[in-house]
């Protein structure tokens, strides 16, 4: 079974490309969804997050205010590391369970959608990495359309991510999303065909 990683900076079209792999029959594990799961009261790390970041804990609703938490960790690298140390092992366990399930089911390829793939060293656990990219002006246009996005917030996010050019240099495959969906879909199909040839040769 081939373990593919999918990554790309903010607003590069990663979710769109992940959906294209899914449309071609590839099971997709979404790290962001696993992180959302960590914030549910039933999660094993929920109370640890609440204890570590009491200012983000909303007593009334008994939930963690993710916006408040985001503000805390975005402006403080040490606090961000603290949060990552709680979340990353949880996400790795979710990924391991996903891998085991699809191995049993005999899936030839599975895909892990991981925003900070290189930054967290996840590439070491994967067979290949696909990087999603688009021209910088398109990335900025897309990002600024997101609710609550400001130029400062975007700069902060980009600073926490490895530059696009570095990701592309490290990638095994690249999918371009600046030239329309049909073009990206052709690249996705081409990657899957290449992997099939490589592993059945």
pLDDT of residue 109: 96
pTM, two decimals, is: 0.88
2 phi and psi, to 5 degrees? -90, 130
What would the mean pLDDT of 52-71 be, rounded to a whole number?
89
3-state secondary structure of 121: coil
Per residue, the 3-state secondary structure of 124-172, as one string, reads HHCCEEEEEECCHHHHHHHHHCCCCCCHHHHHHHHHHCCCHHHHHHHCC
Answer whether residue 119 shows pLDDT above 90: no
Q: What residues form DSSP beta bridges with 58? A: 63
Contact yes or no for 2/166 (Cβ under 8 A): no
Least confident span in 38-42, 57-61, 146-150, 166-170:
57-61
CATH class of 1-27+109-201: alpha beta
> 74: pLDDT confidence band, cut at 50, 70 and 90?
confident
Token reading at 7: 């990554």
pLDDT of residue 135: 96
Cβ contacts of 57 within 8 Å, gap of 6 or more: 50, 64, 65
> 20: pLDDT confidence band, cut at 50, 70 and 90?
very high
The Cα–Cα gap between 182 and 69 comes to 38
Domain residue extents for the chain: 1-27+109-201, 33-106
């Amino acid at each position: 079974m081939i373990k593919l990683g999918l990554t790309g900076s903010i607003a590069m079209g990663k979710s769109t490309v992940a959906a294209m792999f899914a449309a071609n029959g590839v099971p997709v594990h979404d790290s962001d969804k696993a992180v959302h799961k960590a914030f549910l009261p039933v999660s094993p790390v929920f109370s640890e997050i609440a204890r570590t970041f009491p200012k983000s804990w909303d007593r009334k609703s008994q939930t963690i205010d993710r916006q408040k938490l985001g503000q805390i960790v975005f402006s403080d690298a040490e606090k961000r590391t603290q949060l990552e140390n709680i979340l990353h092992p949880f996400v790795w366990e979710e990924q391991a369970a996903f891998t085991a399930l699809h191995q049993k089911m005999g899936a030839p390829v599975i895909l892990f959608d991981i925003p900070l793939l290189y930054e967290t060293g996840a590439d070491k656990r994967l067979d290949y990495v696909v990087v999603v990219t688009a021209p910088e002006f398109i990335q900025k246009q897309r990002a600024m359309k997101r609710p609550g996005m400001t130029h400062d917030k975007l700069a902060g996010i980009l600073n926490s991510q490895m530059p696009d050019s570095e990701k592309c240099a490290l990638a095994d495959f690249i999918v371009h999303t600046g030239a329309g969906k049909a073009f990206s879909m052709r690249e996705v199909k081409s990657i899957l065909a290449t992997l099939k040839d490589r592993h059945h040769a």
